[in-house]
Structure 1
Amino acid sequence: MPSPAVPRATIALAAGGTGGHLFPAEALARELLARGHDVVIHTERRGAQYTRALDGLAHVVLPASSLEGGIAAKLRAVLAILRGVLGSRRDLRRRRAALLVGFGGYPSFAPALAARSLGLPLVLHEQATRLSKANARLLRFASALATSFPTVEGADGFDPARIVQTGNPVRQAILDARGDYPPLSADGPLRLLVVGGSQGAAVFGRVVPPALQQLPEDLRRRLHVSLQCRGDDPEVLHAQLSGAGIDAQVQPFFHDIGDRLRESHLVITRAGASTAADLLVIGRPAIFVPLPHGGSREEQRRNAQTLADAGAGWHVPEPEFTPEALARLLGGLFASPTRLAEAARAASALGRPDAAARLADLVERVLAG
């Protein structure tokens, strides 16, 4: 329930594009609902495809577009943003929304502008170690900035008193999966989870199976591999792994990701902020392979290096992510009786399972203030 000093309100959340943006918004939405507030999520076409995340949550699908590209692309983007602002503004007025929380990414840009045009407070949440382009442009309008890491580049000049480290909210399925790190023994199972984030990663299908095939037979026989991969034939990858004596499940998406994370000894993954938050909350070590190109490249590289420096995993740039290099790294990790467990403890120490509650607290302080 909301604090006695905070009246019940309708709170809008702006997120979309990828699960990395939408899942934290879902977590905050359900926390706010539990406190007695009304919630609506403003998203765009791709965000609306995450039907499980949006189940039971009011949401509005708006046009959105990135400002990247040439002149023609920018003109189309401006028109899409203007339509998004008008659509978001109509919905915010109809619902009498009191505040908007933006989760970064270009789908949050138009709703944030709509909220400010109505005089509503704006709270920004930054998942990464550096402000996204959308959040950097919107920061001048923000009443508060919530961060996932202790320091965030790009927030220079913003009042430090209005910056609060909340952590990155995670889904209930991730919270439910918390538990002790599974024991490792000299001849026991080794559970390896390979996931490419909400958008998958075809490179894992090209590199992981041949790397595992290079491991000694005694390690291969102990391996239980869950490989999420898009862009390759799952049956072909499964045949490669099973032919090497490896127990494997290969799917384009795992809906029971929380259970698989809990059971895993090691994860191979991208370095998106939402993926990192899930790993830290559950406390599992990872080999991070950041995106090698695109707008998220620098963000993921910084995330991976930050977590590697903290001892929670290993950072391997994609150009260095070869079957031979991965086989060497995995062989050394699996042969050590302590390295994986130590990295798991470091990851768990960084986790913020109460991030949704901390972010909801910040939203209510802004509402009351």
Structure 2
Amino acid sequence: VRRLLRQFQPDIVVGTGGFVCGPVLYTAAKMGFKTLVHEQNSLPGITNKFLARYVDRVALSFKGSGHHFGKNETKTVLIGNPRASEVAELQINLTEERQRFGFEEGRPLVVIYGGSRGAPAINEAVVDMMPKVEQAGWSLLFVTGQIHYDTIVSRVGSVPERIQLRPFVYDLPNILKASQLVISRSGASTLAELTTLGLPSVLIPSPYVTENHQEVNASSLVETGASLLIREQELTGERLFDACEKALAQQQKMSEAALALGMPNASRDLVDELLRLTGQKN
């Protein structure tokens, strides 16, 4: 790392957590280079808490999470997640996007996904509530995950056209922007997308992550009324369907709460902070 830094002579070194960036940021700080770490989650990981002692700035994604850095809280600045800026700039025709998936106008669209590989517990709950969905007044896009798709299709059988099952959606933010409600995990990038787009959500945090940080992530949305929370161990088809109905009934209020948390200028603000640290912006 020392050899590479001497050769490259960076203006600033940026890390985003994880064990790989630990020695890089530590060494860069010790060598006198300007440094910044970006913490995506509300509950910081061990690498970033360690690095906070040495770096020049800690960029936060969640308001109120600076206290986790103890006496180094003075180094923190609220930036948000740059993923928010990417989805904020989406230019799509909402009607055409819905039609691309076969959804008609006039019905609320609910999108359910459990991450890129799908989430078995979420999938099971959706299958259980499917009979009620068929009688409901809303459309559903159910993204199962590639490895679960065939099994889910065989179990569900034929469904109305307003219910679509997909193994994966490569441009998911496009259809999210055209939806009225999202059911998902509560990873940092997902929440940045939801708040920027002002989407009500039912969040089911993954219990398989370090220090249960997804539930901590979700808490800020739940506390402000932007989201409803169902823990995976409490998840059933009936409870999920009831949460969907409740969220759709409060859609406008939840959407406003989500938008209030959004930070669509995160990319620009992060660049501005880098320029300030390097003396290139007053």
Query: Which category of TM-score, normalised to the shorter sequence, fits these structures?
Result: 0.7 to 0.9
2:78 corresponds to which of 165, 171, 176: 165
* Match of residue 107 from structure 1: 20
Match of 2:143 in 1: 227
Residue 31 of structure 2 is aligned with which of 118, 126, 147?
Answer: 118
Q: Which amino acid aligns with 1:320?
A: E
Amino acid at match of 1:149: F
Partner of residue 69 from structure 2, selected from 128, 137, 155: 155
1:130-184 Cα shifts (integer Å, max 9, x gaps): 2211101111101111111221142111152x321111111665123379999xx
Q: What residue number does 1:76 align with? A: none
Displacement of 1:325 in angstroms is 1.2
* 3-state SS in 2 of match to 1:158: helix
Contact 2:144 2:152 in 1 (8 A): no
| Structure 1 CA distance for aligned equivalents of residues 224 and 5 of structure 2 | 41
Name the structure 2 match of 1:205.
123
Question: Which among 165, 178, 190 is matched to residue 108 of structure 2?
Answer: 190
Runs of 5+ unmatched residues, structure 1: 1-85
Equivalent of 1:321, from 235, 244, 261? 235
Q: What is the alpha-carbon distance in structure 1 between the residues aligned to residue 120 and residue 4 of structure 2?
A: 39
* Partner Cα distance (1:330, 1:239) in 2: 24
Give the alignment of 1:1-369 within 5 angstroms.
Answer: 86=1, 89-152=2-65, 153-158=67-72, 160=74, 162-170=75-83, 173-177=86-90, 188-198=106-116, 200-215=118-133, 217-219=135-137, 222-232=138-148, 234-241=149-156, 243-245=158-160, 246-251=162-167, 253-295=168-210, 297-334=211-248, 336=249, 339-368=250-279
Shift of the alpha carbon at 1:204?
2.1
For residues 256 and 203 of structure 2, what CA distance do their matches in structure 1 show? 17
Q: Report what 1:81 is aligned to.
A: none
Contact 2:25 2:55 in 1 (8 A): no
Determine the C-alpha separation between the residues in 2 that align with 1:157 and 1:269.
34
Residues 289, 317 of structure 1: 8 Å contact kept = yes
Rounded to whole Å, the distance in 1 between the matches of 2:243 and 2:73 is 43
3-state SS of the aligned residue for 1:105?
Answer: coil
CA distance in 2, matches of 1:167, 1:224: 30
* Alpha-carbon distance in structure 2 between the residues aligned to 1:130 and 1:236: 35
What corresponds to 2:100 in structure 1?
A: none
Please give the secondary structure, in 2, of the residue aligned with 1:142. coil
Contact (CA 8 Å) 1:213, 1:241: kept in 2 or not? no
* Deviating 4+ runs (over 6 angstroms): 178-182
Amino acid at match of 2:33: L
Given that 1:241 and 1:247 are in contact with CA atoms closer than 8 Å, whether structure 2 keeps it comes out as: no
Q: Which amino acid is 1:312 matched to?
A: A
- RMSD of equivalent CA atoms: 2.6
Query: Taking structure 2 as the reference length, what is the TM-score of the superposition?
Result: 0.85
Q: Which has the higher contact order (CA 8 A, sep 6+)?
A: 2
Distance 1:158 1:180 in 2: 45
Conserved in 2, the CA contact under 8 Å of 1:211 and 1:323?
yes
Alignment-mate amino acid for residue 246 of structure 2 = G
Q: Deviations over 1:231-255 (max 9, x none)?
A: 41x133235456243521311x321
8 Å CA contact 2:198–2:262 kept in 1: the answer is yes
Distance in 2, Cα, partners of 1:188 & 1:209: 24
Q: Aligned residues, how many?
A: 269
Shift of 1:200: 3.7
SS in 1 for 2:143: strand
Deviations 1:85-131, CA, capped at 9 Å, x for gaps: x4xx4433332212111112223223213323432122111122222
Q: Tell me the TM-score normalized by structure 1.
A: 0.66
